[in-house]
Amino acid sequence: MDFFRGFLRSPEQVGSIIPSSRFLERRLIEMAELKDVRIVVELGPGTGGTTRALLKAMPANARLLTIELDPAFSAILEEIGDPRLVPHTGSAADLASILAEYGLPEPDLVVSGIPFSTMPRAVGTAILEAVRDNLAPDGRFLAYQFRGHVRRLGEPILGQPEVVLELLNVPPMRFYRWRRQTAAK
């Protein structure tokens, strides 16, 4: 219900009326390649379904910074209680200053569920540039989306993504994964 209320409150910030399926979470964990991560950033974690899945799969010494615009969702994330979790309320476009605020290095992985299709193009571009500019060497950006807006915005900034479709989600979800190109920074 928290997720549905969030959608009603801010449909442009919440991409769906229902949270992610367990199949989506499994695909996310598979594509995230979490074995050796130190720092993970999750953009738009919502009520924390994917956050919990990431925490469960991450190494014990890794940290997870979540960046959520909705203060009500951030409050839910704070209740998770995992010491590796750093919940933050703010804009993903401010990634560099948020990492600095918590003394965190460049992330090995940035995961995004934020709906690029409903935000102004300039905001989406700013977020993707912030991701590109702050990824660790060999870092990855993994976005899961219903529509292809993130790909169209991301290709000029991040290059060609790998694309995988998860059919066992309502509606089906596309995963876009980019790997940092060393010359991109």
Q: What are phi and psi of 173, to 5 degrees?
A: -120, 140
Q: What does the CA dihedral 29, 30, 34, 40 come to, rounded to 10 degrees? A: -40
- The identity of residue 128, as a single letter, is L
What is this structure's pTM?
0.86
Task: Count CA atoms within 13 Å of residue 59 on its CB side.
Answer: 11
H or E, element range at 174? strand 173-179
The pLDDT assigned to 15 comes to 44
d(CA 156, CA 158): 6
**Contact in structure between 170 and 146 (CB atoms under 8 Å):** no
Residue 18 or residue 97, greater confidence: 97
The pLDDT assigned to 108 comes to 98
For the chain, what percent of residues have pLDDT higher than 70?
A: 86
Bridge partner list, 183: none
Other Cβ atoms closer than 10 A to 97: 11
The pLDDT assigned to 43 comes to 98
User: What is the overall mean pLDDT for the chain?
Assistant: 88
The pLDDT assigned to 166 comes to 87
The pLDDT assigned to 170 comes to 76
Residue 12 or residue 109, greater confidence: 109
pLDDT digits (tens, 9 = 90+) for 157-173: 999 999 999 888 878 89
d(CA 142, CA 163): 10
Report how far apart the first and last C-alpha atoms of the chain are (Å, whole number).
41
Peptide bond into 171 cis (omega under 30): yes
pLDDT digits (tens, 9 = 90+) for 121-178: 999 999 999 999 999 999 999 999 988 999 999 999 999 999 999 888 878 899 999 9
**Contact in structure between 107 and 95 (CB atoms under 8 Å):** no
Overall average pLDDT of the 66-74 stretch: 95
- Read off the tokens for 86: 């750093």
Residue 7 has pLDDT above 60, yes or no: no
> Where does the pLDDT of residue 182 fall: very low under 50, low under 70, confident under 90, or very high at 90 and above?
low
The pLDDT assigned to 184 comes to 45
pLDDT digits (tens, 9 = 90+) for 37-68: 999 999 999 989 999 999 999 999 999 999 99
The pLDDT assigned to 75 comes to 94
The pLDDT assigned to 126 comes to 98
Domains of the chain, CATH where assigned: 2-184 (3.40.50.150)
- Read off the tokens for 91: 């804009």
